[in-house]
Amino acid sequence: MKLHQLRYLHEVVKQGLNITSAADALYTSQPGVSKQIQLIEEELGLQIFKRNGKRLTGLTVPGQQIVMLADKVMRDIENIKRVGEEFSDVETGTLTIATTHTQARYKLPAAVKAFMTNYPRVKLNIHQGNPSQVAEQVESGEADIGIATESISERESLLCLPCYHWNRCVVVPHEHPLLQGGPLTLEKLVNYPLITYDFAFTGGTLVSKTFSDAGLTPNVVLTAIDADVIKTYVTLGLGVGLLANMAYDADRDTHLAKIDVDHLFADSTTYLGVRKDAFLRGYMYGFIELIAPHFNRAAVNQALKIAD
């Protein structure tokens, strides 16, 4: 058995059982991939893929287990390489952060700036996506660290560290009726068209739960992944914006008024997630500490150990 064969296997599955595109992704020839798949099936004495004639149509039962194990092997190989990089050249490498727009735009800039100063030779990537995409990227190893509020803390394979708490605010154009008539209530809010994050109402998240617990159905007219987009449409008078407190900038958003809603929604916690089985480079610990100063290297290691 060869590591190459496991890598090929992984890529074929990842590419939706398409050998040709797997070969492309691996920068090698298609017959080579085909051959190696055959060889490993022969060595193991079973079919990993279900086939219809020559087409791959699915994974067999043992195939599923083998692919799972192959993935595990490849993550560990990845970890070995990282150990190598870590010790041969401590300050060089790549850090990929997966996060949501709000975090990337309003919370990370300070940490990123400090990080780039501290580790000038580390290449930094920021992947943006909705919370479940963030979690998936960390799980699959595409990203080293994920930062998000929803869903990341539900993944078994991830260690999640609480970073900070935050709440939401409502933004409206100046002279909007909601600015008068005393404190805002959920009942008042549902009378107006709502513009908010597109994932705020998927899968029983805190916002949707708050409304439904109160027996109310908000009128969500527009959703976006992006606080700036939401604010833009609010400015155009298309509705009332509901977004993270930190996304309102009094200096810049002069054409919008902010209404606190801390009393309507419970605080949310933003988590930072890493794979439990990943080897963390020194600078990754550095980044984590920049975002969540209470998690220094020792604290993270302890959490990893306990979670293991």
Partner DNA sequence: CAACGTTACGCTCTTCGTAAAGATG
Partner DNA sequence: CATCTTTACGAAGAGCGTAACGTTG
Q: Does 70 bind its own copies (CB under 8 A)?
A: yes
Dist CA 73 CA 60 (whole Å):
20
**Contact of residue 110 among its own copies, DNA, none (CB under 5-8 Å per partner type):** none
**Contact of residue 52 among its own copies, DNA, none (CB under 5-8 Å per partner type):** DNA
What crossing angle do the helices spanning 3-14 and 61-88 adopt, rounded to 10°? 110
**Contact of residue 116 among its own copies, DNA, none (CB under 5-8 Å per partner type):** none
Question: In the chain, what is the straight-line distance between the N-terminal and C-terminal CA atoms, in Å?
Answer: 29
Q: Does 56 bind DNA (CB under 7 A)?
A: yes
Angle (CA) 175-211-257 rounded to 5° is: 20
User: Can you tell me whether residue 246 is helix, strand or coil?
Assistant: helix
**Contact of residue 66 among DNA, its own copies, none (CB under 5-8 Å per partner type):** its own copies
**Total residues binding its own copies (CB under 8 A):** 29
| Joined tokens for residue 39 | 């060889």
Nearer to DNA among residue 6 and residue 163 (C-beta)? 6
Q: Does 90 bind its own copies (CB under 8 A)?
A: no
CB crowding 25-57: b at 16 or more within 10 Å, else e: ebeeeeeebbebbeebbeeeeeebbeeeeeebe
**Contact of residue 34 among its own copies, DNA, none (CB under 5-8 Å per partner type):** DNA
| Joined tokens for residue 20 | 């040709």
Binding site for DNA (CB under 7 A): 2, 4, 17-21, 27-32, 34-39, 51-57
Binding site for its own copies (CB under 8 A): 1-3, 43-46, 60-62, 65-66, 69-70, 72-73, 76-77, 79-81, 83-89, 279
